[in-house]
Amino acid sequence: MPLTFHSLPSFLPPFHISSSPIPEHNSLPFPLCLKQSFPTTTTTSRSSAVSAIGPDGKFYPNPSDDDPPVAPEDSMHGVSKFQQIQRQAARARKLQEEEFKKNQSIFVDALAEIEDPPESSISANDETSGDDLFGEIDKALALKRKEFVKQGLLKPNPKKNESQVVSGAQTEADIDELEPEEEVDLEEIKELSGLTEISEADDAGGSEEEKEEERSERSDFEASNELNNAEFSDLSSFDIDFDEFGKSKARIFEPKFRMSLAELLDESKVVPVSVYGNLELEISGIQHDSRLVESGDLFVCCVGRNTDGHLYLSEADKRGAVAVVASKEIDIEETLGCKALVIVEDTSAVLASLAASFYRYPSKNMSVIGITGTNGKTTTAYLIKGMYEAMGLRTGLLSTVAYYVHGDNKLDSSSTTPDAVLIQKLMAKMVHNGTEAMVMEASSHGLALGRCDEVDFDIAVLTNMTRDHLDFHGTEEEYRNSKAKLFSRMVDPERHRKIVNIDDPNATFFIAQGSPDVPIVTFAMDNKNADVHPLKFELSLFETQILVNTPQGILEISSGLLGRHNIYNILAAVAVGIAVGAPLEDIVRGVEEVDTVPGRCELIDEEQAFGVIVDYAHTPDALSRLLDYVRELNPRRIITVVGCAGESDRGKRPIMTKIATDKSDVTILTSDNPKNEDPLDILDDMLVGVGWTMQDYLKHGENDYYPPLPNGHRLFLHDIRRVAVRCAVAMGEEGDMVVVAGKGHETYQIEGDKNEFFDDREECREALHYVDELHQAGIDTSEFPWRLPESH
């Protein structure tokens, strides 16, 4: 039986949610997205006992005696008595830890001068404990001191033996006067004196393997304490970070899965065209990337847009693949280790089913919130994660920025666009480590390619929809239909919820997907008929303050997320909280705890006299919203650096330039992952947005003069992004705002076949330091490197 949300706090009573002007929908009390519905039955008592002895003297049992016992009604709402005790114990432990941290110095000083008793005396006390009250007190003090020594808060203070008490004036002659038996004893004492008792604190220098084995044998609480206090092991140094004291990360365990190939095909309901070889062999993993195959894996030969997995069978075989799923006839007798072959019609279509079956359908054991839309998915995902954790739920995250098992337990991964196998593997890891809910970005690519086919979503969220990825989808209609697949799964009114931004023109289309009986919660900034909308808001460079109206009351939120576009993201998270009946105080606390999201309107502060913002805005709509927000801050000038990716939607390139030059005082066009496309060709496409060509721009450069645009704004370009960023920072003056858009959290630049490290945030910091050095040297960089009209 899934353990989906058995440890939830009590929530608000049922309420009615209107979605006007959208047609009314049914509203139900929050079921906490349970993956399984349990019928409620009541037990009936028998009014009279019926004799089981017939007239012939034989025993005839009542047929009802063979009925299975009827489960009583769950009056505890899915929270067992054991789980209640666990919660109470956790709260008591937390209070005890807070009390200790508050009075830590007092406790340590009280035990500083007490001598460490020998281990033998502690063990002896264990055997003789009973009526000796003072002995029990001494034992408790000894154990507490031992714990402090282990944590590094106190130095060892061993009890002095008699040889140390004897005066140093004792001579060799005194020793010669000892009896023969005493001399023998003295020799033994001398031999033993070379042995030193090693305390547990000193033992911290052992091998990592030994320490890991030791920790695994302890309780989770003791292991957590050891990790918390690792920095206190060296008492010779006083570089102790008390801010980190008491903060711990749970140990993340890697689950192991094994299954026979026959069992995998049966549970996944994959119907093969033909099979060859031994289907009873054991599978220990699934991969469709030959570079990631390990010994014992099943290799699925997927046919993609650019390559064919069948061409890499030999590499997968060399890496240890034991079985193959293919859509073409393959001779496995020529392979080294492949013992079975399964032929299917479409390998890409069955990949998600195979992965979900192998990892035991992990999404069925969690509440899964899927977020789709063109912009705002990542920030909204972080906000919802924070809100769920404020409710006391372990919440995981799958986003384009990072993966989290729960809390601050981040997973290292080279990919931020997980495929069907990685999605199931990460979710299985979350379930194995106690994750109760997961927030996931459902991109149009992932939905169109079937990566999310076997993810059991409970809540679907639409942030907005504008033009994007037309190089992949072809038309805006196909792009919209891909995103609508998430909402088409919302069919169960008991469990599913739809969260929709009704300011978006496509809201009605998304609401119509799935079952009309599924409750809907709407949000908006302009449409005051939305269930969740702002009554008032204030924007600044450092915080955003919002007064939010909801069906359950008014919320006052102060967020570190900046800009009008982030108000939409906050409203989306609040709408999810209202849909699941979360306490209003948990909604506010969860949203306010998310101060920043990597690469999303991220401030770069090196104590400069002007602002610098790095943002992921890479679509026309996102760039327009970002620059509108910056303009609301009333800067003296806006200096924007922007580029367009290679081998992608060419149609948006001139639009991006038009938006940037209309809403920025100075625009610097540059490259952004050109891939195999010539950066100058990309810039030529972008210049169309202002009616220029690359030849026109180069002609201006011959005269060392770049004329202003008709609106009086300035436009420059440089195909090297690092140079463009440094130039923008160099031009910044007091009161200006420099905006570097397009890459955000990304830490790479793809040029041709090279994938090199590049981080806009680090480039901005380096540029700020470099420009500061120039200023200290008396060099004015405000007109560098391009001359302004007044200089002619």
Cα–Cα distance measured from residue 192 to residue 175, given in angstroms and rounded to the nearest whole number: 18
Residue 243 in any domain: the answer is no
- Could you tell me if 334 and 427 lie in one domain? no
Tell me which of 357, 390, 410 is where a domain ends. 357
Alpha-carbon gap, residue 157 to 145, rounded angstroms = 10
Residue that is last in its domain, among 290, 322, 357: 357
Say what the pTM is. Answer: 0.64
Taking 70 as the pLDDT cut, the residues of the chain under it are 1-55, 57-82, 117-135, 158-250, 413-416, 467-474, 783-792
Q: CA–CA separation, 706 vs 373, rounded Å?
A: 39
If asked whether residues 370 and 352 sit together in one domain, one would say no
* 645 in a structural domain: yes
**pLDDT value of residue 115:** 72
Same domain, 617 and 525: no
Output the domain CATH number for residue 607. 3.90.190.20
Terminal-to-terminal C-alpha distance of the chain: 78
Residue 386 lies in a domain: yes
Q: Are residues 279 and 390 in the same domain?
A: no
Task: Report the candidate in 549, 550, 597 with the shortest Cα–Cα distance to residue 569.
Answer: 597
Residue 41 located in a structural domain = no
Structural domain includes residue 147: no
At a CB cut-off of 8 Å and minimum separation 6, what does 567 contact?
Answer: 525, 534, 537, 544, 546
Say yes or no: 324 and 381 in one domain.
no
| Bridge pairing between strands 553-559 and 666-671 | unpaired
Residue 684 belongs to some domain of the structure: yes
Mark whether 586 and 625 lie in a shared domain.
no
pLDDT at 509: 93
Q: With respect to residue 153, please indicate whether it lies within any of the assigned structural domains.
A: no
Give the pLDDT score at 219.
41
714 DSSP β-pair partners:
666
Of 357, 376, 410, which residue is a domain's last? Answer: 357
**What is the number of structural domains in the chain?**
3
> 396 and 406 in contact (C-beta within 8 Å)?
yes
Packing angle, helices 584-592 and 564-579, rounded to 10: 150
Q: Within 10 A of 491 (CB to CB), how many other CB atoms are there?
A: 13
On whether both 569 and 623 belong to a single domain, the answer is no
State the CATH number of the domain containing residue 503: 3.40.1190.10
Are residues 767 and 669 part of one domain? yes
Domain co-membership, 621 together with 589: no
Q: Which domain holds residue 316?
A: 259-357
Question: Residue 298 maps to which CATH number?
Answer: 3.40.1390.10
Same domain, 351 and 365: no
CA torsion angle 326 328 331 334 (round to 10) = -60
- Contact (CB, 8 A) for 424 and 454: yes
* Residue 204 confidence (pLDDT): 41
Within this chain, do residues 353 and 366 fall inside the same structural domain, yes or no?
A: no
Question: What does the pLDDT read at residue 68?
Answer: 55
Query: CB under 8 Å to 184, separation ≥6 — which residues?
Result: none
**Could you give the strand order of the β-sheet that contains 323-326, starting from the edge strand earlier in sequence?**
274-277, 340-343, 323-326, 297-300, 285-287
Within 372-494, residue ranges assigned H as helices are: 377-390, 420-432, 444-448, 470-473, 476-488
Residues 325 and 462 in one domain: no
Please check whether residue 731 lies inside any domain of the structure: yes
pLDDT for 234: 41
DSSP string across 474-513: SSHHHHHHHHHHHHHT---TTT-EEEEETTSTTHHHHHTS
Q: Residue 630 corresponds to which tokens in the numbers above?
A: 């910056």
Tokens for 347? 């390998």
Q: What is the pLDDT of residues 179-221, one digit of tens each?
A: 666 666 666 666 555 544 444 444 444 444 444 444 444 344 4
- In angstroms, the CA 478 to CA 488 distance is 15
